[in-house]
Every structure is written in structure tokens, then in C-alpha cells.
Amino acid sequence: MASSNGHSGGSSSSTAPRAVPGSYGLPVIGNLRDRHDFYYRQGQDKYFESRIQQYGSTVLRINVPRGPFFTIDPKVVALLDAKSFTTLFDLDRVEKKDVLVGYVPPVSITGGYRILSYLDPSEPNHDKLKQLMFNLLHSRKDSVIPAFRSNFSSLLDGVNLQVGNGPVDFNKLNDVSAFQFLGEAFFGERPAPELFTSAGKWLLLMLSPLFSIGLPWIVEEPLLHSVPLPSILVRKDYKAFYDYVFKAGTKALDNAESMGFSREEACHNLVFMMGLNSYAAFKLMLPTILGSVAGSKDKSSLHARLATEVRAAMADAGGEVTIASVERMELVKSVVWEAVRLDPPVKYQYGHAKRDMEVESHDGVRYEVKKGEMLMGYQPCATRDPLVFGATAGEFVGDRFVGEEGRKLVKYVYWSMGGDEEPTVGNKQCPGKNFVMLVGRLFVVELFLRYDTFSVQFTKGPGGNKVAFTDVTKATS
């Protein structure tokens, strides 16, 4: 495969395919031991890295806690390099039905409907529901920049006021601002500030079997990881969120009706799109961008270059932030790609093998996989693959994607479940791809319009990165 050092990966196409190495351990005990390693002893990165070392392979049989302990089979074939991971993009070989997060939460938590994200493109509703999402994003494209700027300039006004009094928790501010921004961007109406708490409870209930929230395992395993929690616990919260979307999303629902959907089914899909697809991911992505840019090794030169680029592009655009002016900011684009490469917001992707097949690793070894087996890609291993990104694969290099050579590497940034191809109604790639990149860039733009530089406290937590501003230097030019 292509790589930063021109290495093409030794091909063993003439040799016989190998059995996938690895072990699931003893029934129940193997799973229990691996869950403990995964959540509490090693953490996710070490869990995978240590097993890659142990078996000398980036394609492995491994247990992954992909749902409640008592209901979900943890056995997967893990794809842990930049080449084998792309098997998951190939819909001729992989079925994406009901695999979004590795298991299916009870449909009662999404109003009784199977939502777009759980549908394989071969299912009848997939294309039409995805088209609905494209229509919504297209119809609201002019509102993204103003909605982002108004919500995030208020957030940064708050930072300016508080930063002299101690660290300012960015995640806490972002939890409200990101939610309000999304409501305004998608539906033209800011949700009430307290609605983000309702959305948060609903998300927590849906995703709780998949994460550690930092409690001791003796509490967390029986409480959150053993059986799905009943959706009745968040019924009121979900209803409040649904009611907001039903009222604010009138135009999108009119469009859905004209496409043959009931308003109810479409609304549940829009709630999921705003809540899980967008909000949950932005809660992770924006702190990651901030932490990466503030923590860069060459911070003072990177910040100076970013400030110059942002302010010059703004000046050229007559003092406006526009899609075209942001598109010209090569370094801004690069830092956003680099942040999501190093720490992708959605780390796991799944798919069932549609038939007996071979999976090829980055070093050209072919492995046999049987029809029906669950394939799982852990994205950080794929997007930090040293055969693609070289010796600095595990480091934040702000200008990695600048210039002609740099741009060639963008196709190895898989955050949207694709490389350089575009999302379509026929694939499973994130329809929010362009929206998300725009928002990441707008965030960097907003920071460097206000500040020459800034510092943060950064903590890698079990439920995502935690970032707090500790100092900001206001823009001097």
C-alpha cells in the first residue's frame, strides 16, 4: 500500500492465505478477563497494541466488549491497520445491518423504529432516509457559519471572562453550545439550554454498555455493562427532545412526508441524527481539536502560523468568514484532519462478512475470514499506521496534510467511515462529512481570530478527552 516512505508492503499474494491469529480464551472467563483489560487495566489503545505485539499481526481474533455482557457475543476479527480496515468500506463483502455500535440497543429507545444508521444500504429505506439527511444539510448550508459563530463566540466570551479565576472547563461549555448550535444549524431554532441534559441522558442510556464512565469495575460492570438498561428510564427526556425536533424541524418533516415517510418515523430519525450522529460526536471532536492544537510540540510557531493564515484569509474575504475563505486555509484544514486522525471521535466500526473471503493486512498478508463473522475496525490503529504515516504516526504534526504530498495522505483519515470518496445514498459513509470538517475548521478559525495563543489542561478520560483553558493571549493583529 502507499505510504509516506514509499513502502508498498511486501505482497504475499502468491502464498496461501493464513488463519487469523489470536484467541478468545475460555468461554465466559476469556470474555470477563478481556473486558477487565479493556476497560480498567490496559485501556483501549493498549488493549489492541499489546495483542498486535503478542500475535505479530494487525488482523486478530479478539474479544471486544461491544454491548451488554449477558447478551452480546464479544468475538470479532479485529482489523488494526490502514489496509485491512478498508475492508469495512467494501459493501460487496461486508453487511452493515444493525452494527452501528456493535450491537442494537432496544428499538424502544428510538421510538420503535430502526433508524438509518442501523440500516444496510440494501434495505429499502436506507437510500431514502439518507437522501432526507442530504436534503436537510443542503437546505441549511447557509446557516452553518452564522449559527456556529454566534454560539461559539458566546462560548469564548465566557472563557475570556472566567479564565483569570482558574481553569475554564471547555467540555462543560461545549456540551451546551454544541447542542444549541446544532439545533440552530439544522432547524433554525435554538433548543432550550436545559434540553442538552435530556439528550445527554438518552445518549448515556443508549451507549452505557460500551464505555467506562470511570466508576470502579465492581460497580460499573453490574450497573452499566451487563444488561441493556430499560428505555423507560429516559422516556420523558427523549420525549422532550423529540417534541423540540418535531416543532423546529417542520420543513424537514414536510420534505420527509413528500418522500413518503410518516412525520413520526422521520422525526425519530432526525432526533437520532442530531443527538447521536452529530451531538455525541461533536462532544468528543471539539475538545480533541482544542487539546491537540494547544498541546502541539511546536505550539508557538504553529499558533503564529495559524493566526496569520486565518487573519489573512479573512482580510482577503472582506473581513467575512465564508466557506470559500475557510477552504483556502491549508494549515487550518491540516490541523483538523490531524486531530481526528490521531484521535477519531467514533473509534469502532463493524460489519458482518457477507461470504467466505480474504482480508489483506498492510504488510500484504492475506487472512481467511468465514461468512457471518463479525469484523471490527479500531480506527485509531488504522489511522496511526506507521506504514502510512511514518515514524511520527503517533504524534500530532499540525502541518502533516499541507502541500501536495501532505494532501495525498488525507485519504487515510477514515473518521467518516471512508477515505477520499464522497458519502452517497448507496454507501455507509457519514453524510455529515463536509459539515463536520467545516465545523472543525470554523472552531480553529474562531480561536485564532480571538487569540494569538492559548494554553489548556488536557486529560484523556474514559469517556473522551477533557480540556480546560488555563490561559489565553488576546489577538494583537
Residue 114 in contact with residue 107, Cβ under 8 Å?
Answer: yes
Query: How many Cβ atoms sit within 10 Å of the Cβ of residue 177?
Result: 24
428 binds ligand HEM (CB under 6 A): yes
By CB under 6 A, name the one of 57, 171, 349, 383 that touches ligand HEM.
349
By CB under 6 A, name the one of 415, 443, 448, 454 that touches ligand HEM.
415
CA dist., res. 321 & res. 381, Å (int): 35
Candidates 21-29, 159-167, 203-211, 423-431: pick the segment binding ligand HEM (CB under 6 A).
423-431
Candidates 221-229, 302-310, 317-325, 414-422: pick the segment binding ligand HEM (CB under 6 A).
414-422
* Start-end of H helices in 211-329: 217-224, 235-248, 250-258, 263-272, 281-295, 299-316, 323-327
Q: How many residues bind ligand HEM (CB under 6 A)?
A: 25
Q: What x/- string results for residues 208 through 237 when contact with ligand HEM is judged by CB under 6 A?
A: ------------------------------
Instruction: Please give the single-letter amino acid code of residue 240.
Output: A
Query: How many Cβ atoms sit within 10 Å of the Cβ of residue 272?
Result: 23
Candidates 65-73, 396-404, 411-419, 454-462: pick the segment binding ligand HEM (CB under 6 A).
411-419
CB of 369 to ligand HEM, least distance (A): 18
**398 Cβ neighbours under 8 A, 6+ residues apart:** 293, 296, 298, 302, 306, 331, 334, 335, 338
3 binds ligand HEM (CB under 6 A): no
Matching residue, cell 477552504: 327
CB of 109 to ligand HEM, least distance (A): 17
CA dist., res. 106 & res. 239, Å (int): 16
Which parts of 135-154 interact with ligand HEM (CB under 6 A)? Answer: 137
**440 Cβ neighbours under 8 A, 6+ residues apart:** 285, 286, 289, 336, 339, 340
CB of 119 to ligand HEM, least distance (A): 6
Query: How many Cβ atoms sit within 10 Å of the Cβ of residue 188?
Result: 15
CB of 158 to ligand HEM, least distance (A): 22
96 binds ligand HEM (CB under 6 A): yes
Nearer to ligand HEM, 412 or 472 (CB): 412
Candidates 74-82, 198-206, 305-313, 425-433: pick the segment binding ligand HEM (CB under 6 A).
425-433
By CB under 6 A, name the one of 35, 130, 384, 450 that touches ligand HEM.
130
Sign of CA dihedral 37, 41, 47, 49: negative
The phi, psi pair for 411, rounded to 5°, reads: -70, -10
CA dist., res. 109 & res. 190, Å (int): 24
φ/ψ region of 471 (left if φ > 0, alpha if ψ in -120 to 50, else beta) reads beta
Nearer to ligand HEM, 9 or 380 (CB): 380
Q: What x/- string results for residues 256 through 295 when contact with ligand HEM is judged by CB under 6 A?
A: -----------------x---xx--xx--x----------
CA dist., res. 95 & res. 73, Å (int): 17
Candidates 18-26, 190-198, 368-376, 426-434: pick the segment binding ligand HEM (CB under 6 A).
426-434
The residue number whose beta carbon is nearest to ligand HEM equals 432
By CB under 6 A, name the one of 144, 294, 346, 357 that touches ligand HEM.
346
CB of 97 to ligand HEM, least distance (A): 10
Among candidate residues 442, 438, 434, the one with its CA nearest the CA of residue 134: 434
Q: What x/- string results for residues 55 through 94 when contact with ligand HEM is judged by CB under 6 A?
A: ----------------------------------------
Strand segments (E) across 97-190:
168-169
417 binds ligand HEM (CB under 6 A): yes
CA dist., res. 198 & res. 234, Å (int): 8
Residue 417 in contact with residue 430, Cβ under 8 Å?
Answer: yes
Nearer to ligand HEM, 270 or 387 (CB): 270
187 binds ligand HEM (CB under 6 A): no
By CB under 6 A, name the one of 100, 321, 357, 445 that touches ligand HEM.
100
116 binds ligand HEM (CB under 6 A): yes
133 binds ligand HEM (CB under 6 A): yes
CA dist., res. 24 & res. 257, Å (int): 48
435 binds ligand HEM (CB under 6 A): yes
**161 Cβ neighbours under 8 A, 6+ residues apart:** none
Sign of CA dihedral 426, 428, 430, 434: negative
Q: Which residues bind ligand HEM (CB under 6 A)?
A: 96, 100, 116-117, 130, 133, 137, 273, 277-278, 281-282, 285, 345-346, 349, 415-417, 428, 430-432, 435-436
